[in-house]
Chains A and B, each alone.
Chain A
Amino acid sequence: MKTNATTENLDNLVSGESATIFAIQTDDALRQRLLALGFRVGKRIELIRKANFSGPLQVRIGTTDILLRKHEAAKIKVQKI
């Protein structure tokens, strides 16, 4: 999927960077789970760290820390703050 210049995939952020969620482009089941975990368009998200060997990402939304794989993170479009 083509994205415009200002948005990028969540997994492209560098540790410590913050961004605003722009779009969640996953299937319905995962979308529901992400919504319940606090992912919403317009919310601020911070990338805390990435595991080695293309392992999962640790992100923070509000007071909740969440682990997710690169593959899932690539489906979340964000705008850097």
Chain B
Amino acid sequence: MKRVALLGMPNTGKSTLFNRMTGGSARVGNWPGITVELLSSKILLGGEMVEIIDLPGIYDIHGFSEDEQVVRHFLHDNVPDLAIIILNATQIERQLSLLLQLKQYNLNMVVLLNMADESKKFGITIDAAKMSSSLGIPIFLLSAKYGIGYNEAMQSITKALRYSTPGMAEELRTQLQQDAHIEREMTRILQNSVQVPLRLPNNLTTQLDHIMLHPWLGLPIFFGIMYLLFQGIFILGQPLQTGVGDLFGWLREVALAPLVSGLPAILQGLLLDGIYNGVATVAAFIPIIILFFLFMAIVEDTGYLSRAAFLMDALMAKLGLDGRSFVMLLMGFGCNVPALMGTRVMRSRALRLLSMLVIPFSLCSARLQVFVFITAALFAPKSAALVVFSLYLFSFAAAILTALIFKRYFPNSEPFVLELPPYRFPTLRQMLLRGWHEVYHFVHRASKFIIIGVVFVWLLTHYPATAVPAGPDTWAGQIGGWLHPLFKPIGITAELTIALIFGFVAKEIVIGSLAVIYGLSGHALSGELALQLDWVQAYSFMLFTLIYTPCLSTVATLHSESKNTGFTLLSLIWSLAFAWVVSFVFYQGARALGY
């Protein structure tokens, strides 16, 4: 099968193009360094199957970052039949250097000057035909986001694929050091075919940055935006969640219960109280997941994340981190796993490890589900949103404290240099793709983890058969009783202890397992929790859930990214101990104050 590689600098729209070509949903955002793994997809092009590979963005083929090494090794080991080079048309005067570096590899190439819509607004005129003839490579103007120029580009790609790259000579590698040559080439090509106005027009980005990056207003605006975002998710998502929960309850009453009524009681119990209750409770979170990622997609695609890095870098520097660590922390609010992988853009290992140590404290969307459910059950609607927001603040505080404690063991002097992309309007298409992608991911995980998880919980809480379901004599009750001395001082009951054990596998299971433990779902479960717990216990439980190990996937990612078992263990043990201490201080403190 022929292989086509997408190559270019960070944030030039490679993933957007990849998605348009493959119909896939590679994660796209207005932030340099989004593609952290090699994404590939097979599509039909000009009558044959072709493999498209989306490579991480690189500034420089001789660069020193991990991404740049990945690309270099890829090109060396798998010479692509065609390389599609994507350049940002608005920055053509500097991105050309990468093209000239790549040209020396004698690859079969097609060049796409992306973001043609934006460069036009800047008043930059590019004569693609002239540039094409002076380089001897087909060059096209494109807007991958809006699809303008897409068909012509695809035709040319299909045509170019007929003549594959002949193979690469090893000595070409050494030639690549001749940067002076590239410098001269660049000036020659630019003079002929590109006109950039002397001063850029005062555009919207400049005006917006004037407010968003204001020395004194910038940070309050940032926190305001975050607050509104999380409030919005809660206010919009909660009724939707209740609605979906009610729908599942209704389905159970009218359709499922009569359907399985002929089965033995034990099987009925497993199916209805075990699998169905557990899965229904978790499935009710789908609206919140969609909302969360839609909102995150807006923040990411507009280019605001790099601004957040600018605003927070001074504080992060004091913590031994930098602005990029902060952005990864924010991305961790979606899911810790891609955020951990995103630290690959950092060259200093110490900085990377310290960032990876704090990222798991980001309140991810799976933990958000637990908090939304419990706050709705235990707190008045008026204060519920505030309670969830307070947990976000705790999440930041936990990360900051961890960095402060551990920074001396991870000293680094990595330079912080980051490109600031202009503000961009996210397209509806991108947002919907992203939302769909995340829901697919969630459901995929659900089928893997949650069903097995809830079946396990059901078995543990219903066996041995002589015991009262979920009572102290069941296996679950015994484990809970055994661990109780450890959890009693932080106000966590035996039932909640079981849920926490399963939460170690994935936080998505926590509420599902509570549903199984109590044999209730939706409103009934909320009611039962409100009877069993007071708010101090519930908050202590949430603090513990926030701080201890997020999930097995995160642990696995920590290990594969750090390639260091000791570091992984440090992260595990530290978060468990930290969680216990915080919950202990909160619980005993609140009790001592008379709550």
Interface residues, chain A, CB within 8 Å of chain B?
26, 29-30, 32-38, 48-56, 58, 61-69, 71-72
Contacts and interface: CB of A to CB of B under 8 A. Distances in A.
A62 B314 contact: no
Contacts of A55: 310-311, 313-314, 317
Give 6 nearest A-B pairs by CB, closest first.
Answer: A55-B314, A36-B59, A38-B94, A65-B420, A53-B314, A36-B60
Contacts of A65: 419-422
18 contacts: A29-B64, A37-B94, A37-B417, A38-B93, A49-B213, A51-B215, A51-B218, A53-B314, A53-B315, A55-B313, A56-B313, A61-B94, A63-B93, A64-B94, A65-B422, A66-B420, A67-B416, A67-B420
Nearest to A61: B94
B220 interface: no
Interface string B196-222: 100010000000010001011010000
Residue among B91, B94, B196 facing the most chain A CB atoms (10 A cut-off): B94
Given A37-B419, A72-B416, A52 B314 contact: yes
Interface of B: 9, 59-60, 62-64, 90-91, 93-94, 97-98, 122, 124, 179, 196, 200, 209, 213, 215-216, 218, 306, 309-311, 313-315, 317, 322-323, 347, 415-422
B306 A67 contact: yes
Residue among A34, A69, A71 facing the most chain B CB atoms (10 A cut-off): A69
A68 B420 CA distance: 10
Contacts of B347: 29
A9 B135 CA distance: 38
B419 A63 contact: no
Given A32-B60, A36-B60, A64 B419 contact: yes
A66 B418 contact: yes
Residue among A36, A48, A51, A64 facing the most chain B CB atoms (10 A cut-off): A36
A36 B97 contact: yes
Given A26-B415, A63-B200, A69 B90 contact: no
A36 B61 CA distance: 10
A50 B314 CA distance: 11
B257 to A, nearest CB: 60
Given A53-B314, A67-B310, A72-B417, 7 more contacts: A49-B213, A55-B311, A63-B93, A65-B422, A66-B417, A67-B323, A68-B417
A50 to B, nearest CB: 8
Contact of B93 (A26, A51, A52, A62): A62
B94 A62 contact: yes
A51 B306 contact: no
A27 B91 CA distance: 25
A30 B417 contact: yes
B91 A64 contact: yes
A49 B42 CA distance: 45
A67 B93 CA distance: 19
A67 B311 CA distance: 11
B60 A35 contact: yes
A66 B313 CA distance: 14
A32 to B, nearest CB: 6
A71 B314 CA distance: 12
A21 to B, nearest CB: 13
Contacts of B218: 51
Contacts of A58: 209, 213, 310, 420
B196 A62 contact: yes
Contacts of A54: 314
Contacts of A72: 415-417
Residue among A33, A58, A71 facing the most chain B CB atoms (10 A cut-off): A33
A67 to B, nearest CB: 5
